[in-house]
Amino acid sequence: MEKVRCLIIGSGPAGYTAAIYTGRANLSPVLYEGIQPGGQLTTTTEVENFPGYPDGVNGQEMMEDIRRQAERFGVDIRAAIATKCDLSERPYKFWFDNGDEVEAETVIICTGATAKYLGLSDETKYAGMGVSACATCDGFFYRKKVVAVVGGGDTACEEANYLAGLAKKVYLIVRKNYLRASQIMQDRVMSNPKIEVLFEHNATGLYGEEGVEGVHLVKRKGEADESHYDLPIDGFFLAIGHKPNSDIFKPWVKTDETGYIKLEGNTQSTGIPGVFAAGDVADPTYRQGVVAASAGCKAAIEAERYLTENNL
């Protein structure tokens, strides 16, 4: 097995920032980019809320910039996906889908989270053209426009309220005949004049020439009075949750009921000595690029200290 001092699993703002810091600290880090090189931001067309880009930047371009910065400090970046690991004792062992086998003294997990989608082919077709899974990332582009949010939980209500501060009109598409959100979130939605809740509705598809122009809806699906109609909208926001990419680590690290890795106190430590986590895989709350980058920085500093304190 190949031996490394610092192994970073996953890219995105957390992984690449951890790579920049560990590279500058001469830890000779090895980073495996994983299933989505550059992370979720590569699916966002315009990023306007990341410091250092006053005119905004394409998400793909921004992640390429951060990747190049990591390479400048000698980080060994590899294209492969971790398929199995053993965190029972140090050095920690990892196996990858390209046949690589690596032993690491420290590990920084930055595998991110994947937004849940309805599974409609149109969601892929209109990705970056009216379909989004992050209101705080993309809501700004829908000022004074009409948008729809899919979901009935706290996240959906929170996103609907956020978008109502920007958009002209917000439709909340809810599959059930009630909201699952906490009472305070329900009250905020129901009392907001800009939000209209469409109970017992399912989105079956999207339509539009150059981007999303509307959504195909079915009301009271499967019932005697089932009806179909089209609703004109400019943006379609998914708010049915995220799935943290933590499955291969679950036998070893603590996770919450959704799968987010639990951290110790105000650190990036997973509780396993020398194993840290950063970014969306360990962040159910903020899920922002700049927050992930700062967590990657913290994890890198903690990894460096761990190696120093243990004479590794």
Q: Supply 181's token pair.
A: 């959100």
Q: Out of 6, 85, 110, 134, pick the active-site residue.
A: 134
Q: Supply 114's token pair.
A: 């994947």
Positive or negative, the Cα torsion across 152, 156, 161, 165? negative
DSSP structure string for 210-276: SS--EEEEEESTTSTT-EEEEEE-SEEEE-S-EEES-GGGTTTS-B-TT-PBP--TTS-B-SSTTEE
Asked about 85 being catalytic, the answer comes back as no
Q: Out of 6, 110, 122, 138, pick the active-site residue.
A: 138
- Three-state DSSP at 143 gives coil
CA angle 24, 26, 31 (to 5 degrees): 80
DSSP structure string for 91-120: SEEEEETTS-EEEEEEEEE---EEE-----
Asked about 138 being catalytic, the answer comes back as yes
Asked about 134 being catalytic, the answer comes back as yes
Q: If 0-12 CB within 10 Å is exposed, 13-18 middle and 19+ buried, where does residue 202 land?
A: middle
Residues labelled catalytic: 134, 137-138
